[in-house]
Amino acid sequence: GNSVTQMEGPVTLSEEAFLTINCTYTATGYPSLFWYVQYPGEGLQLLLKATKADDKGSNKGFEATYRKETTSFHLEKGSVQVSDSAVYFCALRAASNTGKLIFGQGTTLQVKP
């Protein structure tokens, strides 16, 4: 079946450090891939997405590239800020496009000043 695996957290970084959160997936065909962010006490917000192989999603300085050959969609940011502290979820929507999202377990990022 379809699944998403994220690196375990928490990830603790100093401000302006480089961020990578790994995400790999298992799916048939060509799923769409997403990164969502959940700030404390809030619901999930879409951060970025990619719908086909080699697409790069980007938003607010975050980037992720859809790598079919490695079945990965790693999230990166060159210089994190304290305000980036949140839980980040990688997710996929199957190629069958039923609308359902399958989430990874989430990675907590804490950025210290």
Partner 1 sequence: GAVVSQHPSRVICKSGTSVKIECRSLDFQATTMFWYRQFPKQSLMLMATSNEGSKATYEQGVEKDKFLINHASLTLSTLTVTSAHPEDSSFYICSVTLGTAEQYFGPGTRLTVT
Binding site for partner 1 (CB under 8 A): 36, 41-46, 49, 89, 93, 97-106, 108
Burial 39-63 (b: 16+ CB within 10 A, else e): eeeeebeebbbbeeeeeebeeeebb
Q: Cβ closer to partner 1: 18 or 46? A: 46
* CA 4 – CA 48 distance, rounded (Å): 16
* CA 75 – CA 65 distance, rounded (Å): 8
CB of 58 to partner 1, least distance (A): 16
* CA 104 – CA 25 distance, rounded (Å): 9
CB of 22 to partner 1, least distance (A): 15
Contact (Cβ atoms closer than 8 angstroms) between residue 37 and residue 103: no
Q: Cβ closer to partner 1: 3 or 83? A: 3
Q: Cβ closer to partner 1: 79 or 97? A: 97
CB of 69 to partner 1, least distance (A): 26
Q: Cβ closer to partner 1: 13 or 102? A: 102
CB of 81 to partner 1, least distance (A): 23
